[in-house]
Structure 1
Amino acid sequence: MTVTALTVAYDGAPFAGFARQSEQRTVQGTLEDALRTVLRREVETVGAGRTDAGVHALGQVVSFESAPGDPDAAALARSLNALCAPHVAVREVRAAREGFSARFDAEAREYRYRIAAGAVPPVLLAPYAWHVARDLDAPAVRRAAAALVGEHDFRSFCVADSAEGKNTVRTLTAVELYPAEDLGEPHLVLRVVGTAFLHSMVRVIAGSLVEIGRGARDEGWLGEALAARDRAAAGPTAPAHGLTLWDVAYPGECWV
């Protein structure tokens, strides 16, 4: 039996995270309720990333087993978007091979964190960017971020309880900071790409790099925090609303 894969965007503000929870509004729960209505059967979905409460997505991927008689891709997208708007949108529907998992077949995930640095706070971007009320030393941030690229133990950069008894080694292929402008408001974008991530890992990286950018820590401190393998050694966890799951990449042979 083939699998259907949805590329999903959502505004994370109204949700208690992606993963379904009893008595909480979640993205996964919203999608599964809509799928149940459209397909007239129970559907269990798998997401590529379990984003926290308040975290957004443009490229989350959600998979579920197809069944004979399911609507075609265009009809399914229309029906789901009618039920899930305005906070969730299905951007694409694709057919995947039998056994495909949005989570376990992903070969790379890309997150972007927006930082509005400076005295003037953002207005239109306020729901999607962390306002840091001073300019940041972007070159220092870029130099420090280089220490994170490659395979490392990121135990210092995740929720401490979530790391207990788990392998915390992860591989990052890019940690980049660049200027951008959306809706007429300038900001910085921290782009982080890796094979997989720990709980709140990108947000702790963002919070730590801002500490360096504002001069509270020197550039070498980030490598020391990484080596410590202790959450207390790294910086604060940046607010959830600045983070977006931007894209998830899969091998070409996943699609049919």
Structure 2
Amino acid sequence: MRVGAPSYFEPEVLDGTLVLRLGYDGAGFSGFAEQPGLRTVAGEVRCALETFLRRPIDLTCAGRTDAGVHAIAQYVSVPAHHDELAIEHRRWMRAMAALLPDDIALGRVFHASSGFSARFDARARTYTYRIATGDAPPLLTRKVTWWHRLPLDVEAMECGASYLVGEHDFKSFCKMSSAIGKPTCRNVIEVSFEREGALGEEHIAFTITGNAFLHSMVRTIVGTLVEVGAGRRDPEWVLEVITACDRRAAGPTAPARGLCFMDVAYDDGALTACP
């Protein structure tokens, strides 16, 4: 090796940022964030990237998902060298298909400016929660839906959900231990309900977009709206829950398997598709 050349684990000057759009089946993971002794999405992605790039990497995600939560479009940013930014998209796809486990898939690679963060540069995040009702449990979609069994009044749920839109203190929908000493105000931009079908099975899809979300916030919102849809609470109760700023005022937390991280919005021009 020539004098002054970087060794295997001596990074060169970073020239930009690689941004990876990932999808994953969350059933086999203890969440996104790395945890000692547990299988996590970040741990598997880090291992694959370090093998491919042959150096340690600094990984940042757009939003940490809990154990069992899925993703269609999780964005991850990695500070990169000039030669890494020159890697073609086709080569990225082949390498990650070989290095990532079967329950994680690379969807697209982008380039961004130096200092870009998948987390802090995100303007909005979108999640969808899917619920199946009826006497028969879902079969082919059982890993990505919550089987509630009892019928739900979607119109009542829509009415209740309307109180969520705007900037509020969502402390009532946050895991209590994670709210201590931290800001709990968030801005919900849009909510919607749709009846969808997949593989011959129907479900109710609740989609929510916000600037950011608290720990378990979406799942607790869903559990609260299901209380309304099942007729146990009136739609106006959702406003009472928001005002209470107390987790005990809200409904139960819906199961993780029905939740999917769907998209992240960034400023126009922030990301450039890798050629």
Corresponding residue number in structure 1 for 2:215: 199
Verify: 1:169 aligned to 2:155, yes or no: no
Corresponding residue number in structure 1 for 2:170: 154
Which 5+ residue runs of structure 1 have no aligned equivalent? Answer: none
Verify: 1:101 aligned to 2:117, yes or no: yes
| Secondary structure, counterpart of 2:94 in structure 1 | helix
Corresponding residue number in structure 2 for 1:68: 82
Corresponding residue number in structure 1 for 2:6: none
Match of 1:41 among 49, 55, 67: 55
Instruction: Trace 1:1-256 onto structure 2 (pairs within 5 A).
Output: 1-70=15-84, 71-256=87-272
Normalised to the residue count of structure 2, the TM-score between the two structures is 0.91
Name the CA distance, whole Å, in 1 between partners of 2:233 and 2:134.
18
Normalised to the residue count of structure 1, the TM-score between the two structures is 0.98
Once the two structures are superposed, residues 15-58 of structure 1 have per-residue CA deviations (whole angstroms, 9 ceiling, x without a partner) of 00001111111001100000111111011210001000000000
Name the CA distance, whole Å, in 2 between partners of 1:38 and 1:94.
17
Give % identity: 47
| Number of residue-to-residue matches in the alignment | 256
| Secondary structure, counterpart of 1:148 in structure 2 | coil
Once the two structures are superposed, residues 141-165 of structure 1 have per-residue CA deviations (whole angstroms, 9 ceiling, x without a partner) of 0011100001000000010110111
Q: Contact (CA 8 Å) 1:74, 1:93: kept in 2 or not?
A: no
Query: Cα RMSD between the aligned structures?
Result: 0.9
| Secondary structure, counterpart of 1:251 in structure 2 | coil
| Secondary structure, counterpart of 1:32 in structure 2 | helix
Once the two structures are superposed, residues 32-85 of structure 1 have per-residue CA deviations (whole angstroms, 9 ceiling, x without a partner) of 000111111011210001000000000000000111332323212220121113
Which 5+ residue runs of structure 2 have no aligned equivalent? Answer: 1-14
Name the CA distance, whole Å, in 2 between partners of 1:119 and 1:175.
27
Q: Per-residue deviation at 1:125?
A: 0.6
Q: Contact (CA 8 Å) 2:16, 2:82: kept in 1 or not?
A: no
Name the CA distance, whole Å, in 2 between partners of 1:68 and 1:96.
12
Which structure's CA Rg is the greater one? 2
Q: Per-residue deviation at 1:237?
A: 0.2
| Secondary structure, counterpart of 1:189 in structure 2 | strand
